[in-house]
């Protein structure tokens, strides 16, 4: 676990000022455990709507999953979080926060790498763990969250009524997403089944039909990263890179691990440092991998712009 961010660090994204004044361990209420009716147990949290989840945490513990679309371990962890929260049948609520789309919340929770999972209990943030962990460990952590919540008087629950958000209740249901293009949907379905090769094939078909399909290009880069990570032994790869820092295969593998863990600058820096002294064939491998990384992180991301500039200076 990391240090708990103080309440002041949340200001500007959410308002914890009223809740933070309550001494730790003091119950929020002595009344019978409340129940709140909501349209679901899993929500998307944003810089704009997060205050309502802080308020909800006075009734039921709120689990916050800080993730990003390009993060491989996030895609492994999120389904486990969702299954576990659903199995607790209203004793927990899950809020998923895309750190790229919601920088205020990412800063507020001090998310140095992702996935990062935090609980909000009675308005107070409690960091739980960083990185993907097995589902049974997720459930063990949730048991501890419920024990801490009970000690702090947060013993309510949520009942689910899909129509609860129709009249503008406190936590509104998310709008239905737009349908995906056919090959994108097939790729997404393949990922859900664990068929990464099938997803790669679908994205390649989408690109063949429309080379300007930026979403397919990014999707192919993301799934290719997941495919590479699926066969990697992280400790062996890092040991190999440490013993042979000029080994291109080892450097590429470690860069994959860095990127999937949210250490974007480390991944870029490792490959750009190697690129500077590499032979032409190795340079081509590194450049191709970096271009994939740029698509995964987002071509407008400041880290990508900086790395792209350095790559251009090394090329020319």
Residues serving a catalytic function are 71, 74
Residue 153 CA to residue 29 CA, distance in Å, equals 6
Question: Are residue 100 and residue 198 in the same domain, yes or no?
Answer: no
DSSP letter string, 36-105: EEES-SEEE--TTTHHHHHHHTTTS-EEEEEE-TT-HHHHHHHHHHHHHHHHTTTS-EEEEEETTT-HHH
147 assigned to some structural domain: yes
Residue 287 exposed, middle or buried by CB count within 10 Å (0-12, 13-18, 19+) = middle
Same domain, 135 and 221: no
Do 78 and 154 lie in a common domain?
yes
Confidence at residue 215, expressed as pLDDT on a 0 to 100 scale? 84
Does the residue 166 lie in any domain? no
For residues 130 and 190, membership in a common domain is answered with: no
Residues in contact with 16: Cβ distance below 8 Å, sequence separation at least 6, in sequence order: 7, 10, 54, 123, 124
CA distance 48 to 84: 26
Q: How far apart are CA 165 and CA 175, in angstroms?
A: 11
Residue 231 belongs to some domain of the structure: yes
pLDDT at 176: 52
Give me the CATH number covering residue 214. Answer: 1.25.40
* Model pLDDT, residue 34: 67
How many domains does the chain fold into?
2
Cross-strand partners of 119: 63, 126
Q: What pLDDT sits at residue 282?
A: 93
The residue to which tokens 């039909």 are assigned: 209
Which pLDDT belongs to residue 162? Answer: 65
Give mean pLDDT in consecutive 10-residue pieces for the chain, a chain of 316 residues.
34 32 37 71 90 90 91 85 92 93 84 86 88 87 92 87 53 56 88 87 94 88 88 84 87 89 87 93 94 86 89 89
CB 129 within 8 A of CB 143: no
Same domain? 98 vs 13:
yes
92 is a domain residue: yes
Predicted pLDDT of residue 10: 34
How much is the pLDDT for 219? 87
3-state helix, strand, coil in the chain (%, to 5): 50, 10, 35
Residues 142 and 203 in one domain: no
Cα 121 to the chain's mean position, in Å?
20
Whether residue 144 sits in one domain with residue 260: no
State whether the Cα torsion 100-101-105-108 is positive or negative. positive
238 lies in a domain? yes
Residues 109, 61, single domain; the answer is yes
What per-residue confidence (pLDDT) applies to 238?
A: 86
Q: Hey, what's the torsion of the CAs at 81, 82, 87, 88, to 10 degrees? A: 70
Supply the pLDDT for residue 27. 37
**In the sheet where 42-44 sits, what is the strand order?**
42-44, 93-98, 62-67, 116-121, 124-130
What's 25's domain CATH number? 3.40.30.10
Which structural domain range is residue 276 located in? 182-315
């Amino acid at each position: 676990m990391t240090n708990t961010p103080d309440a002041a660090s949340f200001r500007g994204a959410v308002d914890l000022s009223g809740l933070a004044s309550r001494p730790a361990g003091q119950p929020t209420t002595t009344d019978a455990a409340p129940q709140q009716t909501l349209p679901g147990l899993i929500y998307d949290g944003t810089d704009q709507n997060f205050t309502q989840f802080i308020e909800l945490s006075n009734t039921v513990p709120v689990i916050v999953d800080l993730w990003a679309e390009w993060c491989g371990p996030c895609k492994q962890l999120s389904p486990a979080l969702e299954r576990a929260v659903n199995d607790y049948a209203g004793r927990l609520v899950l809020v998923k926060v895309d750190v790229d789309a919601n920088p205020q919340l990412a800063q507020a929770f001090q998310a140095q790498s992702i996935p990062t999972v935090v609980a909000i209990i009675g308005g107070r943030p409690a960091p739980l763990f960083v990185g993907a962990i097995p589902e049974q460990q997720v459930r063990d952590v949730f048991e501890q969250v419920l024990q801490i919540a009970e000690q702090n008087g947060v013993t309510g629950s949520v009942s689910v009524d899909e129509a609860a958000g129709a009249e503008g209740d406190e936590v509104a249901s998310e709008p239905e997403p737009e349908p995906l293009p056919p090959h994108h949907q097939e790729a997404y379905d393949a990922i859900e089944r664990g068929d990464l090769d099938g997803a790669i094939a679908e994205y390649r078909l989408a690109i063949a039909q429309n080379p300007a399909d930026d979403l397919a290009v990014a999707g192919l880069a993301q799934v290719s990263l997941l495919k590479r990570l699926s066969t990697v032994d992280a400790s062996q790869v890092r040991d190999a890179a440490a013993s042979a820092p000029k080994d291109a295969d080892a450097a590429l593998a470690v860069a994959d691990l860095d990127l999937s863990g949210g250490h974007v600058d480390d991944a870029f820096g490792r490959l750009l440092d190697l690129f500077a002294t590499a032979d032409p064939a190795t340079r081509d491998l590194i450049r191709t991998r970096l271009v994939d990384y740029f698509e995964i992180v987002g071509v407008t991301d400041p880290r990508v712009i900086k790395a792209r500039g350095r790559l251009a200076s090394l090329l020319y």
